[in-house]
Amino acid sequence: MRDVTFGRYYPSRGPLHETSASLKLLFFALYIVSIFISKTYTGLAVCTAFLLICIFISRVPLGRVLRSFRSIIIIALVSSVIVYLTHPQDGALAAVVLFVRLISAVCVSALLTLTTTPSEIADGLEKSLSFLRFIHVPVRDIALSVSITLHFVPVLQEEAEKIYCAQKARGASFSGSLSHKASTVVAVLVPLFSSAFRRAGELADSMESRCYDYACERTAFHESRFTSYDVLAGLLFAAYFLFTICVRLMPWQ
């Protein structure tokens, strides 16, 4: 569980850290789109190369990002094998496409949370979806829920690790038959859910004691402004996205 990087901010002064959170959310959504419109080896190579460039300029250690897909590597491999066996004509290409899509989506999600704090993600999400207020969508509540969720991810990871170590110290064995593993996992999940509900209640009491009112207009201590990093990032991503579309529309693809 210590290897899980999702939700853990990595402090640095890289260009991606300085880019506006709302822009990064937009880039994240468009990158996911670019992955799913790429259906050839050339398109996947372009998407992978761009992701590696983003990791390099973010100044986040490559190992921190690669650790993010350890939890789904088995799922990605099994899914790719199934696709390969069920597609007799183009099974190899379909399997590679599925595998690269899953790994790239997880890595770019990890890169987003590694270079953006939960508060910045919430603010960026609120600004990006502000136009939905005209149709009475509770954008502020959605942004607050996302922020709290991202804050709780590393907390619950550490809590699960502590419960796991405590159960092992009491003699619990997590090896053996499938039924035995399921019973021992319950010994971790029950106190974990209990701790999560307790922390949620404490957070609600804390917000009420501070007179939090979702109907009031929020202000920011640090107002986010567009900088030169935002302009450069926008130009770089626009060039990448246009190139991806051109590769997709090539007649020889």
In a domain, 253, yes or no: yes
Q: What is the DSSP string of the chain?
A: -TT--TT-------HHHHS-HHHHHHHHHHHHHHHHH--SHHHHHHHHHHHHHHHHHHT--HHHHHGGGGGGHHHHHHHHHHHHHH-TTTHHHHHHHHHHHHHHHHHHHHHHHHHS-HHHHHHHHHHHTGGGGGGT--HHHHHHHHHHHHHHHHHHHHHHHHHHHHHHHTT----SSHHHHHHHHHHHHHHHHHHHHHHHHHHHHHHHHTT--TTSPP--SS-----HHHHHHHHHHHHHHHHHHHHHH-TT-
Q: Which two tokens stand for residue 137?
A: 């969508």
Q: Examine the domain organization and report whether 76 and 4 are in the same domain.
A: yes
* Band of pLDDT at residue 20, cut at 50, 70 and 90: confident
107 and 231 share a domain? yes
131 domain-assigned: no
Q: Note whether 239 and 210 are same-domain residues.
A: no
88 and 4 share a domain? yes
pLDDT of residue 217: 67
Q: What is the pTM of this model?
A: 0.75
* Domain identity same for 207 and 109: no
* 139-197 pLDDT tens trace: 888 888 888 887 787 788 888 888 888 888 877 776 767 676 677 777 788 888 888 88
Q: In this structure, is residue 55 part of a structural domain?
A: yes
Domain containing 153: what range? 140-214
- Co-location of 30 and 63 in the same domain: yes
CA angle 61, 100, 153 (to 5 degrees): 55
Residue 28 CA to residue 108 CA, distance in Å, equals 7
Answer yes or no: is 165 within a domain. Answer: yes
Query: Is 56 part of any domain?
Result: yes
Check whether residue 56 and residue 103 sit in a common domain.
Answer: yes
- Note whether residue 130 is domain-resident: no
Q: Are 5 and 111 in contact (CB under 8 A)?
A: no
Domain match, 54 and 172 both: no
Task: Report yes or no: 158 and 195 within 8 Å, Cβ to Cβ.
Answer: no
Would you say residue 10 has pLDDT above 70? yes
Same structural domain for residues 203 and 231?
no
Mean pLDDT of the chain: 81
Who's near 20: CB < 8 A, 6+ residues apart?
124, 224, 226, 227, 230
Q: Are 113 and 154 in contact (CB under 8 A)?
A: no
Average pLDDT over residues 124-131: 82
| Confidence class for position 223, pLDDT limits 50, 70, 90 | low
Total domain count, the chain: 2
Percent of the chain with pLDDT over 70: 88
> Do 80 and 184 fall within a single domain?
no
Residue 95 shares a structural domain with residue 162: no
d(CA 36, CA 31): 9
pLDDT per residue over 69-109, tens digit each?
777 888 888 888 888 888 777 778 888 888 888 888 888 98
Domain co-membership, 3 together with 112 = yes
In a domain, 134, yes or no: no
Quote the CA–CA distance of 68 and 109 in Å, as a whole number: 9
Of the ranges 30-39, 167-176, 179-188, 213-222, the best mean pLDDT one = 30-39
238 within some domain: yes
